[in-house]
Chains A and B, each alone.
Chain A
Amino acid sequence: MFRAITRTQWKSSRGLVLLATILAFAIPIASFRTATDVRAQGGLFLGAIASWSVAYSVAAAGIGLSLAMIAWSPDHRGRHVYALTLPVARWRYVLMRLGAGALFIAAPVAALLVSAEVVAHSSSIPIGLQAFPIALTIRFTIAALVAYALFFAITAATARTAGIIITIIAVFCAATYLAAAADVHTTFFERTIEWIFATPGLLSVFTGRWMLIDA
């Protein structure tokens, strides 16, 4: 059964997985290129690399989110009737879908590892940081899985509930920017975000130190 679900989920997700793989491969390379340019101009190489840390965080979250939404899209179209009439317990079915999508994350993760290793070996990085690509990949994997699981749970509900939750998030983000643009002095947004992403906590994987050094 798991194989059958994985095969059908792959059909919906493969385009996205391809994009995610390309993206995951591209970020280290892109960061390397900009860093080399910066060094040529006399700036700090490692500092330039470090400034890309946000990209990894966003990429992991984005990949997790979109894979989760794709996972449930065929069911949403038919209002889950097909899955609910299959002779399998609901929780088992949900777990199989979750597992299938989690498997797909392996592709961009592998691409990231390869790309990061290439970058790490092709530049003069201190010996102590040579293991960095692995650490980066692990963090990326965890972040992607967390985002995936979180949004998977959200979209497992009806499309309506998922839409509501995502709208709330979008409104929150928009409100943050508007407040900043209107020069409204409030620490509400910062405090909320700090609270959500506080350590210890699952979501803390997105913030914090992606790069082992700070510039």
Chain B
Amino acid sequence: MMFVVETHDLGYRAGSDFEIAQLNMHVPAGAVYGFLGPNGAGKTTTIRLLLGLLRPAKGAITVLGQPMPQASVSVLARTGYVPERPHLYPTLTVAEAIDLHAAFHARWDKPWASELVSRFDLPPARRISALSKGETGKLMMLLALAQRPELLVLDEPTDGLDPVVRRDVLEAVLDYVSAHSATVLISSHLVHELERICDWIGVMDQGRMIAELPMQEFKAGIKRIRVTAAPRDAGNAPFTLLARASLNGSGEEWLVRGWEPAMRAFFDTAGASVREVVDLDLEEGFVELLRSFRSPLPRT
């Protein structure tokens, strides 16, 4: 598998604490990679490191096969970026901002840019400082897409946008991805949005990558199991027990990772019985994963 973004043992420090430590990240080519993590996990910092806006304290970064930040000029030519906070020159009009961006990107797609202007309903003569939040978000996405990048890095691109704008923006991204074989790295709080569009997921917490795998595996991997006559000792279970709680009267609910249907045998031999096995959705899975990472159950 070819990776469009790779970090090896990446470390970054802002102040006395290591904000990011031993970060190993791999974004496969052609993936729509969802970058999940709670506030303060270091997602935006990681993105800034990937794009050469920050210098790493240690470790290696490779984007599109080239080392960063050394090759930033050629990598940025092939990478579209939508930052968390608007970064465009406020005194320019929409049309001027587009012309400026076009002048710096050799692969600029002028017809696609015009199409997006009308699709996004952007007023070409209005100053950026006078645009609404949604219009600014759409403009930044337009600039990133019309560049015809091989890699799209989106840092909370739909945060604070109303549902209609969110839909328009995501539609344009997916439209682009289908038409060109591009890779998308999207960081977002909006777990349900990521759930629809991502086929890979990377979960970051406290400066470290705690899980990185295909979306299907992640969702299928954590299950909620209703058990009656549950065994007290789960130490030698074939799966990872993340949490267990008693359901008043009707047994226990176990949260497990790495479940396979054949593992029912574990319960059978312990004299317990499995009543139900339920998949968690992405949000629940994410919350449980974080919980187990931060306060792992002691191994009995």
A4 contacts B87, C-beta separation under 8 Å: no
A7 to B89, alpha carbons, bound, how many Å?
13
Q: Tell me, in angstroms, the Cα distance from A103 to B291 when the chains sit together.
A: 60
With A85-B51, A87-B74, A89-B73 known to touch, is A11 a contact of B91 (CB < 8 Å)? yes
Other-chain residue from B52, B73, B87, B99 in contact with A82 (beta carbon distance below 8 A): B87
Nearest A residue to B97 via CB reads A8
Known: A1-B103, A78-B86. A87 touches B53 (CB 8 A): no
| Listed stretches B76-84, B164-172, B186-194; interface member | B76-84
B-side contacts of A88, CB under 8 Å? 73, 104
Q: Which of B76, B86, B90, B103 contacts A85 (CB 8 A)?
A: B76
Would you call B88 an interface residue if the criterion is a C-beta within 8 Å of the partner chain's C-beta atoms?
yes
A12 within 8 Å of B (CB atoms): yes
Asked whether any CB of chain A lies closer than 8 Å to the CB of B283, the reply is no
Given A4-B103, A4-B104, answer yes or no on A74-B77 (Cβ-Cβ < 8 Å): no
With A77-B90, A87-B73, A89-B73 as known contacts, state yes or no: A8 contacts B104, CB within 8 Å: no
Residues of B within 8 A of A89 (CB): 73
Interface flag for B96 (CB, 8 Å): yes
Write out the residue numbers on chain B whose beta carbons fall within 8 Å of the beta carbon of A74: 89-92
Taken residue by residue from 72 to 108, chain A's Cβ proximity to chain B (1 for < 8 Å, 0 otherwise) reads as 0011011101101111110000000000000000000
Name the residue of chain A whose CB is nearest to the CB of B101.
A86
Chain A residues numbered 45-86 whose CB sits less than 8 Å from any CB in chain B = 74-75, 77-79, 81-82, 84-86
Interface assignment of B100: CB less than 8 Å from any CB of chain A: yes
Complex Cα spacing A57 to B132, Å: 45
Known: A1-B104, A85-B87. A7 touches B76 (CB 8 A): no
* Contact indicator B53/A85 (Cβ below 8 Å): yes
15 A-B interface contacts by CB (under 8 A): A1-B103, A1-B104, A3-B103, A11-B96, A12-B91, A81-B83, A81-B87, A82-B88, A82-B89, A84-B53, A85-B83, A86-B76, A87-B104, A88-B73, A88-B104
B residues within 8 Å of A by Cβ? 51-53, 73-77, 81, 83, 86-92, 96, 99-100, 102-105
